[in-house]
Amino acid sequence: MSGPPLLTRPPAQHVRPPAGRGRDGFWWLLPAGALPLLVVVVLVAVVGLSPRPVSPLAGAGDPYFPDYGAGGYDALSYLVDVTVDDTVLGGTTTVTARATQDLDDVHLDLGLPVTRVTVDGEEAEFETGDGNDLRVEAPRRLDRGQEFVVRVDYAGDPTEVRAEGQREGTSPWYRDGEEQGVAGEPESSAWWFPADDHPEDPALFEVRARVRDGLQAISVGELVSRDVAQEDGWDTWHWRANQPMATYLTFLMVGRYRIDEGRVSGRPYVYAVSERFTPVQQDDLLAELAETPEWVAELERDLGPYPFSELGGVVPPFRFWFAGLETQTRPVYDGRSLLDDDYADTLLVHELAHMWFGDNVTLSRWDDIFNNEGWASYMEWVVEERRGGPTPNERMLRSYDQLVDEDRFWAVPMDDPGAERVFATVYDRGPMALQALRNLIGDPAFTRLMRDWAQTPGARSVEDFRARTDEVTDVDLDPWYEAWFRGTTAPARIPEHGFGA
């Protein structure tokens, strides 16, 4: 993700994500006279039934957003089949998953009202709780290692979905007349489909969106089909992601879009720009998006092959709180930022670098944000040098000199910035730390580390990255890590911190 749109970005990039979602428990109150009966019932239950597995927590245990996601299973694929009308989104999502422990319950994140749930084709009881938690009671035990299928029917107004602690104006669902859609970080899926909403659990996705005729529905991956005029008054757009992706990396935009599609370098591409922009702006925005293959090729020189099957980009009409978001295969861009000639190239490079750092290699927890934003910001420096700009080391020294006396900036440790400051300093401190590492271990080791890290898919942590750095060098990196990742003051300008002799 790039920071706030260029025209509204504060000097220090402070972006506060919604607070974590909590869930309240409940108490059973029994009259005193019921105690003997209760004892008998409990004894019968113990003798006659095998013990039920402990239900996993309704959350993945993230240190910043502990109620996001779920435990006890690995999501394998999602089929999201929805109809989007003026104010209502409704449909069915099919979740295929594998149990990682014995399960009685399956938890999903969804903020829309649910009407029916089945597990492996059988009707299932369910309840919704605070914080967009949907608890599904499996009709029969799900054994560890067992694949199972949950189908959820639901409908509601996404603009009415709220996460606990969410600030006004931070909903990831946008609507302006017939134009609407969803994109956001750290969460967005609960506004339109049920999911294990945590980046540590990537899965395959298909999206079928039924919209009023004359409107387009843009999403991630490959455009499989569009059934235009096959149903009176409605069109259906079918998209499929061919590689696993985290839930926040999905999006859906519905409206009137000017679309450019084709193939380049053997890959299909789809670029989409809202017709709310003027014709001249549409031309300019499509021209910027058309540079995507060029920037991808530039990044492949350092990071190895592009990790996905498709290319693309979308520019909706909304005023986002971010300049760009790394939705997989097709980043979502803020139009004001992409129309700025002095910023457009940097924005494209940053979001496309996320296809490796953030999408192919995704977060293990939200305190691992360095693995996304530190690397994507560093690639801006690498590409800028090849285009005749300053070297990454010159950029590092310049940034350090500008920030060295900013105590509030350095007070945020990069390995644990906190939920309220997760995006606060990583865009600047992250690339500085990486260049310092490069200075310490040398170009060959750094290049090998960068490419190997980018080419190995899956969820990984900052601790994983720290361990990997020791595998490529004999240099003692503890002083570097303590200064750049854990320190709460500016790193001293000494060789051990990567400033050179």
CA distance 400 to 393: 10
More confident residue, 40 or 107: 107
Question: Based on the number of CB atoms within 10 Å of its own CB, is 236 exposed (0-12), middle (13-18) or buried (19 or more)?
Answer: middle
Topology agreement, domain 6-18+55-363 and domain 366-497: no
CA distance 403 to 60: 36
* % of residues, the chain, pLDDT over 70: 87
Phi and psi dihedrals of 5, rounded to 5? -50, 145
* % of residues, the chain, pLDDT over 90: 82
Angle at 216 between CA 210 and CA 221, to 5 degrees: 85
- Among 151, 143, 74, 139, smallest CA distance to 110 is for 151
pLDDT in tens, 226-235: 986 678 899 9
3-class secondary structure, 271? strand
Q: Which of 50-54, 266-270, 358-362, 373-377 has the lowest mean pLDDT?
A: 50-54
pLDDT in tens, 33-69: 333 333 333 322 333 333 445 455 678 888 998 888 9
CA distance 201 to 136: 19
CA distance 255 to 274: 7
pLDDT bucket at 176, cuts 50 / 70 / 90: very high
Residue type present at position 82: V
Residue 293 preceded by cis peptide, ω within 30: no
The owner of tokens 């031309």 is 283
- pLDDT higher than threshold 80 for residue 283: yes
CA distance 364 to 368: 7
To the question of whether residue 350 is assigned a binding role by annotation, the answer is yes
The owner of tokens 């190995």 is 456
pLDDT, average across residues 86-97: 98
3-class secondary structure, 377? helix
CA distance 245 to 219: 13
pTM, rounded to two decimals: 0.88
pLDDT at 1: 79
- Among 79, 92, 393, 104, smallest CA distance to 238 is for 79
| Average confidence score pLDDT of the chain | 89
pLDDT at 59: 86
The string over 210-220, giving b where at least 16 C-beta atoms fall within 10 Å of a residue's C-beta and e elsewhere, is: bbeeebbbbbb
- pLDDT higher than threshold 60 for residue 25: no
Which CATH number is correct for 366-497, 1.10.390.10, 3.40.50.2020, 1.20.1290.10, 3.90.340.10? 1.10.390.10
- pLDDT higher than threshold 90 for residue 85: yes
**CATH classification code of 6-18+55-363:** 2.60.40.1730
* Cβ–Cβ < 8 Å for 320, 5: yes
Tokens of 173: 């669902």
pLDDT at 32: 34
Contacts of 454 (CB under 8 A, 6+ apart): 303, 304, 307, 356, 357, 360, 361, 375
What is the domain partition of the chain in residue ranges? 6-18+55-363, 366-497
